[in-house]
Amino acid sequence: MTSGKVYLMGAGPGNLDYLTLKGYQVLSIADVLIYDDLVDPQLLQLVPSECIQLYMGKRGGSPSTPQDIINLLLVDFCLQGKQVVRLKGGDPFIFGRANPEIESLVASNCDYEVIPGISSALAAPLLAGIPLTDKNLSRCFVVLSGHDPDSLDWEAIALIDTIVILMGGRSLEAIINHLQDKGRSPTTPIAIIRDCARPQQQIWSGTLETIVDQVAEISLSPTVIVIGDVVTLRQMSSSSSLPLSGKTVLVTRSAEQSSKFSDLLQQQGATVIEMPALEITPPSSWEKLDQAIANLGEFDWLILTSANGVNYFFERLGDRGKDARSLAGVKIAVVGKKTAETLKQQGVLADYIPPDFVADSLIDHFPEELKGKKILFPRVETGGREVLVKELGGQGAKVIEVPAYQSGCPQQINPQAWQALQEKMIDIITFASSKTVQNFYYLLQQALTSNSENSPQGLLEKVCIASIGPQTSKTCYEALGRVDIEAQEYTLEGLTDALIQWVNHS
């Protein structure tokens, strides 16, 4: 039997981007993943599909799995010959309860390895633009837990230039009282960083005298507190000339498609929260597409109107033992730059791309007479627009529609996005298709009903609604009552440019 091993591993401060390379490699071989709170859900996608995933989070004031049970699980899986990853937020040796786990592993002769992670004690101040050391303002700093403030030596702590406190949100007032009792001035700067390194990160700055009122009735978990004169350096360190700096954008696309748009927005300084509003899946049956693929030589044109249509068509083409050479006698028309780029990745160039990147433009500018032409149109199974088929048929073409994929609505709203909407953290919501608007509205209604809140329009009253083009805008008006931004060029790049123009003129 293969020897088992346990990896006590730090996940970093809360974002996949800050996982170490060693951590990435270990997750890829995991048989069992036992993970804590504050771990980026994207990390869970890095383990093999057959990996056993067990959530063992511990949050103050909430029920949690006893440490003894976790210790037993680690030992048991290891003795079964499994590669076990014990994934902890931050670094496993900074308030990570690693010692009792190591003791249990050693007592049972289990092999283990500790893999460091970036602690939020270091990352949160940095990402907030606060240097923990400075030759004039901070010669040293201390990191401590605020879980039980009364047990700490505040007389000694108060003398240290910079104080970093983890798990101190619930004890903020007690911490401030202790420091002032031991001589720290009420005007001492303080910063509170919640959800460090995540898209919903928030920062409050003030003084020991003012901060409690600033964050009254706000949940401060998870949070990192920084106290000291270096907090005054934050504006100098974090100022940015990027056009979308300070704006939080909610991206409503399918999970498979959101990354590129998020990257574009982040490059312009935006904080991005992704809310999957589409789930892309295979069609209910491949029969019609398979039949069309078997008779590709009969068609004059292949029309592709989405990256999903391209990907699913060519994937199925390969499954049927064919490749792009089967399209030798077929001309290809695509709608949109993204669709054309996706087609190019398959090693195929489009014969025709309409100038305005929309289906209506394809009909208006089609390069040859359509009468008598036979056209293959792989498309979404349900819910797509019918105008293209109707207009092509009206000009004498015979259009064969075949389902190539299906787009559905997720079962519930993404919790992170819902929290951000409730807490009025969102400045802009972007929509890149009518379906994302419809699904977003449905998910929002569901969440509002279960939480007895106001209408979707009320919740979005101060949020800018941005659309990629006319058809999406029409659906925005129908569902949400308004559109504030519409891209001039109907692409993700065009939508990004439209957001920048709106920010510059608002």
Q: Which residues are catalytic?
A: 36, 58, 167
Closest CA to 126 of 273, 265, 247, 12: 12
With beta carbons less than 8 A apart as the criterion, state whether 414 and 438 touch: no
Find tokens 């700055």 and name the residue. 205
Q: What is the DSSP string of 43-82?
A: GGGGS-TT-EEEE----TTS----HHHHHHHHHHHHHTT-
Q: How far from the centroid of its chain's Cα atoms is residue 74's Cα?
A: 30
Q: What are phi and psi of 278, to 5 degrees?
A: -140, 140
| Three-state SS annotation for 329-371 | CCEEEECCHHHHHHHHHCCCCCCECCCCCCHHHHHHCCCCCCC
Side-chain half-sphere exposure of 161, counting CA atoms within 13 A: 14
Give the alpha-carbon dihedral of 287, 290, 294, 300, to 10 degrees.
Answer: 100
Structure tokens at 218: 């706000």
* Preceding amide of 222 cis, omega within 30: yes
Q: How far from the centroid of its chain's Cα atoms is residue 497's Cα?
A: 21
| Helix pair 258-267, 492-505: axis angle to 10 deg | 30
Alpha helices in 229-286 (DSSP H): 234-238, 258-267
Question: For the chain, how far is it from start to end, CA to CA, in angstroms?
Answer: 66
* Residues 6+ away with beta carbon under 8 Å from 237: 129, 130, 131
Q: What are phi and psi of 477, to 5 degrees?
A: -60, -40
Structure tokens at 340: 């054309």
Strand partners, 378: 402
Beta strands in 282-347 (DSSP E): 301-304, 331-334
User: Which sign does the torsion angle of CA 455, 456, 460, 466 carry?
Assistant: negative
Closest CA to 129 of 278, 29, 51, 239: 239
Structure tokens at 326: 């089967």
With H, G, I as helix, E, B as strand and everything else as coil, classify residue 417: helix
Identity at 177, one-letter amino acid code: N
**Interatomic CA distance for residues 307 and 355, integer angstroms:** 17
